[in-house]
Amino acid sequence: MHIGIVGSGAVGSYIGGRMALAGQRVSLIDPWPAHVEAIRQHGLLIAETTEEFTVPCPALHICDVQSLQRDKLDIAFICVKLYDTRWAVELIAPYVKEDGLVVTLQNGLVEDEVASIARAERTLGAIGTTMSVFLSAPGRVQRAQSRAGPGDTVFYVGEIDGPETERVRRVVGLLNLADHAASTGNLIGERWAKLTANTLSGGLAALAGTTFKELYENRRTRRLAIRLAGEAIQVGAELGLPIGHVRGMPPAIWSAAASGDASALAQLESHLLRTQQIRPDNGHPAMAADLASGRRTEVDWLSGLVVRRGRAVGVDAPTHARVVALIHEVEAGRLTPGAQALDRLEAV
């Protein structure tokens, strides 16, 4: 198969590079010129926690995509920022075979948007968890966390609304080349679980100016994270979604802890502190990197989505709303991450 990775940043480069290393035919597509040129000249360097290797792989600038007209893709993975979804799918859809697939491997809930462009019968969703990858330089992707162990799942793949299919199994097989993958018949429920996991820590750690590990080890920010999770789970429940486990714990535990149940809170905090032991010390949220570099963040598609979906069903998510407002203040240069931003969030 010919596989295209649209948005070959950290996640896209890692999965594409791993697939290419296993012998798949992969084309990496990215808007960062220096990254594309580095891959063209030197190959893609993948640095794992214990080894590193270079993978030769074709890389295309955005302006080169039309060269796929005579060599169309069997599968295109969409790995761009959420606000770039529409143009990325519009770009690649004409170069995917009629019986090919467009797979969104992003955060948030964008399957409907992708399907409106690429057609529902060509659209699948994939969820990536616990990868801890970042671009350390053009042409170099680094993973700060070891590959998953037996029984752990990093990728879930599913139909927008339906059980496992042959094409889902095909994509599972490809993602298994990067790390452990499995199919799901509950894509939207798992999506909401991942959205909850993203929004309980990403914006919060970015505002606090901490690593993920520091966020969970600090009682103050840990309790704020639990509050954010409780709001997101309440919205998802009101939407009628069968929400999956969030960071290894059932949603009912998060909801009870956020509501003040002392037993649930003790159980959840013990779990969070225990699981931090395997986290890398330097793990920062992507949103923090975006703020530091002056780039636009995805907050409107993450906590902002929780707020909008909550309003539609009559459920308030005030802490998420404040996260959105404060992140926008940081983006505008009116607020600096740290104690003041955390004070304003905690005051909700």
Are 150 and 234 in a shared domain? no
In sequence order, the 6+-apart residues with CB closer than 8 A to the CB of 72 are 2, 95, 96, 97, 100
Are 180 and 193 in a shared domain? no
Are 11 and 148 in a shared domain? yes
Enclosing domain of residue 128: 2-185
| pLDDT score of 284 | 78
Are 150 and 260 in a shared domain? no
Measured between alpha carbons, how far is residue 62 from residues 29, 70, 92 in Å? 7, 17, 10
Are 181 and 194 in a shared domain? no
| pLDDT score of 276 | 77
Q: How many domains does the chain have?
A: 2
Are 197 and 275 in a shared domain? yes
| pLDDT score of 279 | 66
| pLDDT score of 11 | 95
| pLDDT score of 312 | 97
CA 87 to chain centre: 18
| pLDDT score of 245 | 93
Are 206 and 92 in a shared domain? no
Are 169 and 266 in a shared domain? no
Tell me the pLDDT tens digit for each residue of 197-217: 999 999 999 999 998 889 999
Tokens of 233: 């789970």
Are 338 and 239 in a shared domain? yes
- 262 bridge partner residues: none
Q: What are phi and psi of 48, to 5 degrees?
A: -90, 180
Q: Which of 348, 345, 346 is nearest to 326 (CA)?
A: 345
**CATH number for 55:** 3.40.50.720
**CATH number for 316:** 1.10.1040.10
Q: In angstroms, rounded to a whole number, what is the distance separating the alpha carbons of residues 78 and 12? A: 8
Are 49 and 34 in a shared domain? yes
Per-residue confidence of the chain (348 residues) as pLDDT tens digits?
A: 999 999 999 999 999 999 999 999 999 999 999 999 999 999 999 999 889 999 999 999 999 999 999 999 999 999 999 999 999 999 999 999 999 999 999 998 999 999 999 999 999 999 998 788 889 999 999 998 777 766 789 999 999 987 889 999 999 999 999 999 999 999 999 999 999 999 999 999 999 999 888 999 999 999 999 999 999 999 999 999 999 999 999 999 999 999 999 999 999 999 999 887 766 666 778 898 899 888 999 999 999 999 999 999 999 999 999 999 999 999 999 999 999 999 999 998
| Final residue of a structural domain among 151, 185, 219 | 185
| pLDDT score of 278 | 66
Do 187 and 158 form a contact (C-beta atoms < 8 A)?
A: yes
Are 105 and 217 in a shared domain? no
| Final residue of a structural domain among 185, 219, 239 | 185
Measured between alpha carbons, how far is residue 181 from residues 184, 187, 259 in Å? 10, 14, 34
| Final residue of a structural domain among 133, 158, 185 | 185
Are 169 and 295 in a shared domain? no
Q: Which of 161, 160, 181 is nearest to 102 (CA)?
A: 160
